[in-house]
Amino acid sequence: MAGFAQPVAGFTTAGQQMAQAFNVFAGNATALATALSAMPRTLTGQFQHHVTVTFNGAEVLSKLSPEIKSMVTAQVRKSLGQVFKEQMPDAGVKV
Q: What is the DSSP string of 5-65?
A: HHHHHHHHHHHHHHHHHHHHHHHHHHHHHHHHHHS-S---------------HHHHHHHS-
Residues 63 and 36 both lie in one domain:
no
Mean predicted confidence (pLDDT) in 25-37 = 94
Looking at the domain assignment, is residue 10 inside a domain? yes
Domain limits for position 65: 57-91
At 61, is the pLDDT very low, low, confident or very high (cuts 50, 70, 90)?
Answer: low
Q: Tens digits of per-residue pLDDT, 8-26?
A: 777 788 889 999 999 999 9
pLDDT at 29: 95
| Residue 3 within a domain | yes
Q: How many angstroms separate the CA atoms of 16 and 5, rounded?
A: 16
**If you ran DSSP here, which 8-state letter would residue 3 be given?**
H
DSSP 3-state of 95: coil
Residue 12 resides in a domain: yes
For residues 61 and 87, membership in a common domain is answered with yes
Inside any domain, residue 48? no
Which pLDDT band holds residue 95 (cuts at 50, 70, 90)? low
77 Cβ contact list (under 8 Å, min separation 6): 95
